[in-house]
A and B are shown apart, each in its own frame.
Chain A
């Protein structure tokens, strides 16, 4: 623009025709302000006729978009009496794609002459081109078209938000053109956001002007959206582009102009860790409430349970809180009812979840309390609100099982979720490690010990029996001779006439003999014992009576003299008895 300014030192249009006669030979030139540009950057082409006036036919610009132009300027000057005039036609172009392009020759008809300009080669590169020649421009490389008369902007209410926190994006158009006809508008795709239109439809100019560098612009809001970022990290919003026709009328096709906004970046912060289990992505400021319609009903009647989330934030993204209804309840998916308004301030209103629950069996049930957790960006923390528990009393006569459920056992216990059984808590169940009784010394002792002990005991007993048995045998064998000795002593006493000694010797002979033969001590040999033992030894009855008679006679003789029989006879009976018994025991 400043270049044009150089030529415009003096501009005298009125004298142009009068002074034309003195003109030099006309020259026709084509000039581009850059040889190398980036795709999308503008390039100015100027066709100039010096020293003459004429019609300029521009070449084909099919490889480029004409952003601005053609604009004509005429220049007439007199310097030191010499007059010169220039006439130019300029275009602002933008390359469509990268590559090398040639702008063909333009043809100028000056009077009767046809003049041709040289072709211009333009190198279009990808991305940023060296912009050294843009001396007067702002340094911002993303600066789109240089047309200051038309500006588009994307404005964000916040640049830094939490995931799920709302922000407003506004697409604005600022224009100095009066007669502007909007053409193609390409809004950027808003990937990574859940968006909600705040304002759309008819676009109209705002009543007030907006000043940029003290230049007034008319402003129109093309679109306004509420955005909820759905992922964390930096999300970039592509530039927003617009093309429009200016000065379009019935007679005039108008001129196409276009504008492009800056790209925008939004930093989306992740939600802090440690979210409660009930957190389901709600971000904002909410109040959670719930109510159960009827809590005392009959079986198979429905209960309405409505939960309301009211407040500001990403209301439309709120999911129903998970409620663990008793398994005897038939639960239908909740119905949503939204009363949500979307405005520049965000999304506000309420969302209601209407549960329809049908208890199938009578009884008292608890619908447990349930939590709703949201993240509050202003407090930067999670807030949990709890509703419930609700107690439901279901009445109904026994056997009111619904017929359509006949296939299901009435009291089937439904496992809602599987988990392992609980641990053992009884510490007495611990056993000392490596302290096994089996195969220990004590074990061997206690298993083999009793048997060994018994064997030893039996052996010991047997041996003692054997010894005792021997003594008895000897005594039994000697019994006869011992008795004979006693009888001999008795005979001696009888010969002497000592009756008392006689009977006592007889008594001892009988007793000693019986004691030795029967293997029993004299002390235990009472008359009944003698009777029994002899009977056991199969001694005939008359002999038992004989021995009893002999013993009784001896006993009586101690106290009174024996009458009725002589000592010789008694001696003879005793000797005979001992011989007989000896014979029986052989």
Chain B
């Protein structure tokens, strides 16, 4: 009875994956067409193809390629947006970081920010590199392993084996909890919008969320800002140097 439910669930999962697979096949075709156009220097065609691919899929590759294509088409704010999105899937990717640096050199604003250390990069890669699903599968592994260990504990023949089963099982339960929280934080890192890119050529950042507010500082297209909170159509933002202010949602696109 229990086994049957289990098997039927597995079937449901596989079939739902099957339903998605037609979408992903189409996205892969567009993606390949895009890479071919890009290799010939036909960036406009590449852009259309990659955008089609992005509508049916996600991940590092499609965002990275869109960022590169926008760069080649000289649309730097879009390029920055997509490269930042690509880094959400692979936070330590060296190519994306390099391209993003080049793109950032071509925008008007120079906002001082500390470069990331090797360790910080490694830590980001560890936490977010495999993504929420990666951690989810690892937590499934720990769950299964913990169950096996507790089985040993419950039915072990000799007391040593049972003791081993008990403690390893406990460690696995702790690791299971850790990986679930890692999975959740990876999900938040990838899918929540905590920063944005300015898309208007020149924006006056206000001291309060209304147009009459004092202009605190000025940002230009391509600048990256952190979103703190929002009030109506206004976002409270912070830039890397620590300055804060209010900006209209229409001037931004969320990463």
In the complex, A529 has a CB within 8 A of chain B: no
- Check B139–A447 contact: CB distance below 8 A: yes
In the complex, A427 has a CB within 8 A of chain B: yes
- Check B136–A443 contact: CB distance below 8 A: yes
In the complex, B167 has a CB within 8 A of chain A: no
Q: Per-position contact with B for A396-427: 1 when CB-CB < 8 Å, else 0? A: 00000000000000000000001111111111
Tell me the bound Cα distance from A164 to B28 in angstroms: 51
Interface residues of A in 440-497 (CB under 8 A from B): 440-443, 445-451, 453-454, 456-458, 461
- Check B99–A420 contact: CB distance below 8 A: yes
- Check A441–B136 contact: CB distance below 8 A: no
Stretch at the interface among B6-14, B216-224, B236-244: B6-14
Residues of A within 8 A of B133 (CB): 436-438
Binding site secondary structure of chain B = helix
- Check A451–B140 contact: CB distance below 8 A: no
- Check A446–B58 contact: CB distance below 8 A: no
Partner of B23, one of A433, A442, A454: A433
- Check B12–A442 contact: CB distance below 8 A: yes
Interface size on A, residues (CB 8 A): 38
- Check A429–B140 contact: CB distance below 8 A: no
Tell me the bound Cα distance from A416 to B64 in angstroms: 24
User: Which chain A residue lies CB-closest to B2?
Assistant: A453
Residues of A within 8 A of B143 (CB): 446-451
In the complex, A6 has a CB within 8 A of chain B: no
Partner of A454, one of B20, B27, B151: B151
Residues of A within 8 A of B180 (CB): 447
Residues of B within 8 A of A426 (CB): 61
Q: A423-B65, A424-B64, A447-B143 are in contact. Are A439 and B187 (CB under 8 A)?
A: yes
- Check B31–A430 contact: CB distance below 8 A: yes
Q: Per-position contact with A for B34-51: 1 when CB-CB < 8 Å, else 0? A: 010010000000000000
In the complex, B154 has a CB within 8 A of chain A: yes
Smallest beta-carbon distance B189→chain A, Å: 12
Residues of B within 8 A of A448 (CB): 143
- Check B146–A424 contact: CB distance below 8 A: no
Residues of B within 8 A of A202 (CB): none
Partner of B59, one of A421, A422, A431, A457: A431
Tell me the bound Cα distance from A432 to B133 in angstroms: 12
Q: A420-B71, A423-B68 are in contact. Are A433 and B6 (CB under 8 A)?
A: no
Residues of B within 8 A of A445 (CB): 6, 9
In the complex, A537 has a CB within 8 A of chain B: no
Smallest beta-carbon distance B220→chain A, Å: 21
Query: Would you list 11 pairs from A and B whose C-beta atoms are within 8 A, ordered by A residue?
Result: A423-B38, A429-B59, A430-B24, A430-B27, A432-B20, A435-B16, A446-B140, A448-B143, A449-B143, A451-B150, A457-B151
Other than the known A420-B68, A432-B57, A447-B136, what 6 A-B pairs have Cβ atoms closer than 8 Å? Answer: A426-B61, A441-B13, A442-B12, A447-B140, A447-B180, A458-B154
